[in-house]
Structure 1
Amino acid sequence: MLTPKYPTPDTALPAPAPATETTSAIAPVAPQNPVPTQARRAVQLTPGGVVAVAAGGTALVLVVGSVLVSMLLAVAITGVSVAVCAVVLRLLLKDFNTHR
């Protein structure tokens, strides 16, 4: 019931064309409008292009590095300020409890 139905082997592929012998002495003619093929072009960098790519990569690394360092510095400063606030509150509460 759920098995796939495959076509019979004789209808799966078209029948091969019969081989014919050509006995004419005329050379085959190339088509007048051949279909253009799209060849893949390799990227060729000039020395200036290599320098530009290297400079762009260096700039990207420096920008990303500075952003990450500034974020780390912001987290560190926030942590230190929270710790200082905790110490000050602890001293205030201790002083408040002892002078009562």
Structure 2
Amino acid sequence: MLRPKIPANPTPTGAVVPLPTTPTAVDHHQPTAAPMEVPASSRPTVQLTPGSVLALVGGGTAVVLVVGTVLVSMLLAVAVTAASIAVCALVIRSLITSQHRR
């Protein structure tokens, strides 16, 4: 149905792979052997009680809040640093221009 078109390399650099050809006839075979039974897993299944679901939701909420707090504090630290650098730049500029006037 949807097959990707593989471009032919005009100068092969190794083993030459022939282009795929479309099949002319499709032969459907029926399986002769019965399907094998899948063995049961030895691991116990996880059963969630309403209390454990609430604990998981509470834990996930706590993780999201902590990560959000950390990211916001980092952003605030960057903003404060940028503001202080801007103030320092203005003070230095003012000192340099006042020195040139004298």
Please indicate the TM-score interval, normalised by the length of the shorter structure. 0.5 to 0.7
The number of residues matched between the two structures is 63
**Aligned with 1:41 (options 35, 39, 44):** 44
Map 1:19-38 → 2, pairs under 5 A: none
Corresponding position of 2:64: 61
Unaligned residue ranges in structure 2 (runs of 5+):
1-39
**1-structure distance, mates of 2:41, 2:65:** 39
State the identity as a percent: 59
Deviations 1:55-93 (A, max 9, x none): 000000000000000000000100010011001100011
Q: Which has the higher helix share?
A: 1
User: What's the counterpart of residue 78 of structure 1?
Assistant: 81
TM-score after normalising by structure 2: 0.59
Matched with 1:95 is: 98
Q: Which amino acid in structure 2 is aligned with residue 96 of structure 1?
A: Q
Letter paired with 1:78? T
Give the greater-gyration-radius structure (CA): 1
Letter in 2 for 1:45: L
Gaps in structure 1 of 5+ consecutive residues: 1-36
Q: Which structure has more RCO (C-alpha within 8 Å, separation ≥ 6)? A: 2
Which consecutive segments of 4 or more residues in structure 1 shift more than 6 A? none
User: Could you tell me how far apart the structure 1 residues matched to 2:46 and 2:98 are?
Assistant: 73
Query: Cα offset for 1:38?
Result: 6.4
Q: TM-score, normalised on structure 1?
A: 0.60
